[in-house]
Amino acid sequence: MGLETALGHSFLTTRLDAAVNWGRKYSFFQYPFVTACCGMEYMSTFASVYDISRFGAEYPRFSPRQADVLFVVGTVNEKLAPVLKRVYDQMCEPKWVVSFGVCATSGGFYDNYATVQGIDKIIPVDIYIPGCPPRPEAVLDALIKLQQKVAKESVLDRKYR
Amino acid sequence: MSSYLLDTLKARFTDAVLATHAFRGDETAVIRKEALAEAAAFLKKELGFDFLMDLTAADYLPREPRFELVCHFYSSAHNYRLRLKCPVPADDAAVDSLTPLWAGANWFEREVYDMFGIKFNGHPDLRRILMYDGFEGHPLRKDYPLKKRQPRLPHKD
């Protein structure tokens, strides 16, 4: 088996992408941008029964500069839109965005003068979670799907998205 | 059925009270907007209404007078409630502020101004409270276009 066989078992070879993505996908630091009732389901996902830390996404970081994944949890209105954009811009690459619930995804039933009809009008989104609000199982499913998505990326990608 | 509150109000403001009605103990007086501040002061000082529970408005387009200001008062000493309503015409959408009487009227009036465009004379700081600077129009007016959006950031697609 290649170099390991020739040089002994003290190291192994892999691709850079595989090693880096392995580290990234099991250590998501989330920034919870919580604006509405979906936050309750987010807290439930976070707490001991569903325990999101089983998937390596242990810490919510309340500074965007320390976060990898932006969870937009709840309704975003036009007044708040510049704040969300600013939080997103403050996050360091690589960064991902999860749209949590129908309000963040499409405005939900708030089809009115005040509400942004989906946060993808403002920032790019990687994973959408449907539901009003989504069950914690759906959130964990989205997290796993995001991990799968990250596993397919290259360290050369996403530099200037 | 006679009502102490409504009878007192009618006796004191004979010309200003346009109508009164009561439904299951909820008493309402419709009053001319010029007399609102005076009537509210009377309620507070003479009848013990120490709490302004709510102040809001409704748009009855195409009725004229178009708007109606609605104030809910409560007396914690007597456990009385009373509602005052004021018809407000579109071409003179301005009412005397109740903020000098109840400090809590401040944000209610800003909200009514923001949503309906009714101005309050004597309000200390009549700015929008819910919508952002640069927002045009008043979104709870019935003639505000249903699908009109005023994004602060340019939207993609």
**Span A122-128, mean pLDDT?**
93
8 A C-beta contact, residue B40 and residue B101:
yes
Of A76, B98, A82, B101, which Cα lies nearest the Cα of B110?
B98
Query: According to the model, what pLDDT value does residue A159 have?
Result: 55
Query: According to the model, what pLDDT value does residue B2 have?
Result: 72
A29-151 has which fold? Rossmann fold (3.40.50)
8 A C-beta contact, residue A67 and residue A88:
no
The verdict on A79 touching B (C-beta cutoff 8 Å) is yes
CA B66 to chain centre: 13
Query: According to the model, what pLDDT value does residue A1 have?
Result: 57
A-B Cβ pairs (cutoff 8 Å, strict): 35
**Span A45-65, mean pLDDT?**
89
pLDDT category of residue A57 using cuts at 50, 70 and 90: confident
Give the tokens for residue A13: 């070879």
pTM of the prediction? 0.86
**Span A30-34, mean pLDDT?**
93
Give the tokens for residue B53: 């529970």
Q: Which residues are registered as beta bridge partners of A99?
A: A72, A128
| Nearest residue, CB atoms, B153 vs list A82, A113, A114 | A82
Query: According to the model, what pLDDT value does residue B29 have?
Result: 93
Please state, in angstroms and rounded to a whole number, the distance separating the CA atoms of residues B31 and B77: 24
pLDDT at A160 over 60: no
pLDDT tens digits for chain B (157 residues)?
578 888 888 888 888 999 999 898 899 999 999 999 999 999 999 999 999 999 999 999 999 899 999 999 999 999 999 999 999 999 999 999 999 999 999 999 999 999 999 999 999 999 999 999 889 999 999 999 998 999 888 888 6
Instruction: Quickly list H helices, chain A.
Output: 2-7, 16-25, 38-46, 81-90, 102-106, 136-151
- Please provide the distance, in angstroms rounded to a whole number, between the alpha carbons at the two ends of chain A: 38
Which of A151 and A7 is assigned the larger pLDDT? A151
Query: According to the model, what pLDDT value does residue B1 have?
Result: 56
B4-121 has which fold? Beta Polymerase; domain 2 (3.30.460)
Cα dihedral angle (B118, B119, B123, B126), rounded to 10 degrees? 80
Flag if B153 and A79 touch (Cβ within 8 Å): no
Of B94, B139, B136, which Cα lies nearest the Cα of B116?
B139
Which of B5 and A4 is assigned the larger pLDDT? B5
Please state, in angstroms and rounded to a whole number, the distance separating the CA atoms of residues A155 and B15: 79
How close, in Å, is residue A51 to chain B by CA atoms? 35
pLDDT at A83 over 70: yes
Q: Which residues are registered as beta bridge partners of A69?
A: A30, A96
**Span A113-135, mean pLDDT?**
93
Query: According to the model, what pLDDT value does residue A9 have?
Result: 73
Q: What is chain A's mean pLDDT, rounded?
A: 89
A contacts of B136 (beta carbons < 8 Å): none
DSSP output for B11-53: HHSTTTEEEEEEETTEEEEEE-GGGHHHHHHHHHHHS---EEE
DSSP output for B47-102: S---EEEEEEEEE-TTSSS-EEEEEEEEETTTTEEEEEEEEE-GGG-EEE-STTT-
Please state, in angstroms and rounded to a whole number, the distance separating the CA atoms of residues B131 and B114: 7
